[in-house]
Amino acid sequence: MRIDPASALAEAVARYKLERPALHAVAGLFFFVPALALLFFVENGPPTEGETVTDALRAMLIDNWPWLLGVQLLELFGSVWLYAWLLGHDKPVLGQALRRAVALFPMFLIASVLIGMLTFAGLLFFLAPGFYVIGRTFLVAPVLIAEPGTTAIKAFEESIRRTQGMGWMLFVVAAAIWLTGQFPNLLLRPLEAPLGMAGTVLIDGAAALAGAAVTLLILLVKVVVYRRTAGSKRGT
């Protein structure tokens, strides 16, 4: 089936407005706070004299991989919690969804690693294959969480089947949301030097907030697309 991206996005925003308090609580704790801490405590300045951008990035990753890994794991767990809550068949409360998230997290982590590996491999081949992988694996997470007993491989197969003919569209939706989330940082960055430390705090806070909003909105769009394609599970 075909999904209208505009209506899917509108439904995701409507769902956000309906469930705002709970979404703010989980997203704030697992998306915003870790990202803000990372921006505050991890140095990511421009390359020094004689150092290339690649060398600077490699050094940053080597020096700060525990922080980066920890933030990524927290974001993944927060995502599992929200999926378990939003897609629970009996509309569980957050506490019940949390217990289910703990049980599902290992399989979700495996699936996330596989998606990352496939995307990275695709990006090595002129970028386009990696972008396409992002679109075709768009529903791996909601399938894995919403359908009990699903393995990571089965979730991949189901996502690929459900997103047939929609891979590029889903990638463009995710990319558009991500790019929109970069605007606050780009607009505020020139204020960093004039405002000093206050400017750094302002920009880092805005960047972390925008990043959390992007993560949450993409998650909600995935939930919407999953539900709209649920009828196609058996080819209907």
Among the ranges 91-100, 171-180, 225-234, which has the highest mean pLDDT value? 171-180
The residues near 125 (Cβ < 8 Å, ≥ 6 apart) are none
Closest CA to 228 of 22, 87, 18: 87
- Which pLDDT score is estimated for 190? 84
Instruction: Give residue-wise pLDDT tens across range 201-222.
Output: 888 999 999 999 999 999 999 9
Closest CA to 209 of 16, 32, 13: 32
Backbone CA torsion sign across 53, 59, 60, 61: positive
Backbone CA torsion sign across 40, 43, 47, 48: positive
pLDDT at 3 over 70: yes
Instruction: Give residue-wise pLDDT tens across range 95-137.
Output: 999 999 999 999 999 999 999 999 999 888 888 999 999 999 9
